[in-house]
Amino acid sequence: MHFESAVSLGARIAAGQTTSVALCQMYLDRIAAKDSLINAVVYRRSASKILADAAASDARTASGTRRSALDGVPFTLKAVLEAEETRTSTGTTAVDYYPPVGADSDIAMALKSAGAVLIGKTHAPGGPVFTETAVFGRCNNPYTAGRNPGYATGGSSGGSAAAVAAGLTGFDIGSDAAGSVRLPSSYCGVYGLKATYGTISSAGDIWPVTPDRPPVFRDLCTYGPIARSLDDIAALLPILNAASVRKPDVAPLRPFTGPQLRKVVLLDKIGVWYCDTVVQAAFNALANALRAAGVTVVQASAFPLNYNQYAGFYDALWNYPGAVLNTYYPTINVNKRSWDNTFYTGNTRPFEYHLSGMVEAAKMRSLLASVMGDADLILTPTHAVGAPVAGTTIPDTITYMCMTVLYNITGNPAVSLPLGVHSSGVPFGVRAVGRHFRDLDLIHLAKQVDRYARGFVPPSL
C-alpha cells in the first residue's frame, strides 16, 4: 500500500480496510528499510507521538467525526517548513533549530487540522538541480538508488519528491521559488504543483519568511503538494488554501467549474533554450495523442526570456535571502524594514533595482497571457534535459531551470506530470500551466492530459 495515493489511503481508513496506526507503522518500517539508500527523510518524529496522533485519528473514524478525506494519512514536510518539535533547517548549520511546542507553519497547522499525521521532515534545500547539503549530505534519486553513478533528484524539494516516489510517505509539501516543487517532481516521476502565488500561506517557512526578504523573492516563492496522484493534489488544495492570523491575506481559489480540455498551447522553447531529443520526442508524442483525441493543439513561438533577465532575477532570488538569513535567523523581525537605498549587510541595491524586477514581471505576465490566448492550458516540458549524474559539476543551472522560472515570475499555477523516462532510468515530466487562481480547474484539466502521459510508475526498491 505504500505506493497508493493519499486519497486511496484515506478511503481505506474510512472504509475500515486499514487504520491510521497501521499506515503510520507501515511507513515507519518502510523508512527504516529503504531510506538509507535515498536519504530523503532527514528527521523523524518519535514513533510514540506519531502513533498517538494516528490512534486519535482512528478514534475519530470510529466515532464518525473524520475531519477530511485525508484524516489519518501520514505525511512529511520539506525541512524548511516549521512544525513543532521537529528539526527545521535549510541544510546549513547556521539555520538549524527545533521550533518550540506550538510553532507550526501555517501549512503544518492546516494539515494537522485536517487530521493528517506528520511523520517528519524531508531533505532540503540544496540547489535547483541537486539536493545535497552540508548538514544532510546527498539525497539520491529513487530510480537510481544503490547505483553508481546515481542521478540528481532535482531541487530544492528533492527530499520531498524522493520520499513520495520511494513510498516513504503519503504525500509532502514543498516550496517553489524557481521550480523547486516541479523540478524534483519531474526527476522523481511524481506530481508536483506550484500553486498560484499567494494562495498558500508562507508563515513558518524559514527560508523566505522574514518580512525583510527582497520584494522580488517574496513575489516568486510559493508552495504546493507533491504526490503520487492528481487526485491527492485536488484534495490538498482546499486544505492548504486557508487564511490564518499570521497570514490573513491568503488569496482564495476560484470555485471549480469542471472544464473540458478543448485547446492547448505548446511552449517548448524559452529564449535560446530548447529540449534534448528524448524529452522533445516524448513531448511531441503527447501533443499528437491530444490531437488524435480531438484537442486543438497550437504551437507557440519561443518565449523571449533571455540570459540577462534570468540573471537579474537570480541576483535578487539567491544573493539577498542568504544575507537575510545570516542577519536575522532564527528571530523573525516583526518590523518590516524600510525599502530605501540599503537593505542588508554586504548586499545593497537601490529600490529601483527591485522595482524594475516587478515591472519586468508585469510585462512577462502580459506576454504570457497573450501566448495563452483562449486556450485552456499551456503545455511545456518541466525539464529541458535529463537529470545529470549526482555530484558532478554542471556548466550552468539555467539549462535545467529554463522551463520553470517563467511561471514563478508570472505567478501562474503550474503542475508537473510524469511524462517519460530517460536513458539513465530517471523520469522527466510535462507541465500544465493554468490561469491565476484557477488551480482547481488546472488540476481537472491536467487529469485529461495525464491520460496520455506516463503516470506514476514506482521505482524498483
Active site residues: 78, 156, 180
Q: Tell me the HSE value of 349 on the side-chain side, using a 13 A CA sphere.
A: 17
Residues 6+ apart with CB under 8 A from 215: 339, 354, 357, 358
Rounded Cα gap, residues 363 and 298, in angstroms: 22
Report helix, strand or coil for 442. helix
Is 5 strand, coil or helix? coil
3-state class (DSSP) for residue 93: helix
DSSP characters for 11-28?
HHHHTTSS-HHHHHHHHH
| Closest to 350 measured CA to CA, from 360, 338, 336, 340 | 340
| Beta pairing, strands 137-138 & 132-133 | antiparallel
Distances 229 to 63, 66, 199, 280 between C-alpha atoms, Å: 29, 22, 21, 24
Contacts of residue 16, defined as CB under 8 A and 6 or more positions apart, other chains included, come to 61
Distance CA 217, CA 215 (A): 5
C-alpha cell at 393: 559539476
Q: Are 77 and 108 in contact (CB under 8 A)?
A: yes
Cis status of the peptide bond prior to 418, with omega within 30 of 0: no
Task: Calculate the alpha carbon distances from 75 to 108, 169, 205, 359, 413 in Å.
Answer: 10, 5, 17, 39, 23
> Which residue type occupies 9?
L
Number of H helices, E strands in the chain: 15, 17
- CA-to-CA separations, 34 to 38, 127, 134, 272, 409, in angstroms, rounded: 7, 24, 22, 41, 37
How far apart are the C-alpha atoms of 173 and 193, rounded to whole Å? 9
Phi, psi of 173 (to 5 degrees): -125, 130
The secondary structure of 397-434, three-state, reads CHHHHCCCHHHHHHCCCEEEEEEEECCCCCEEEEEEEC
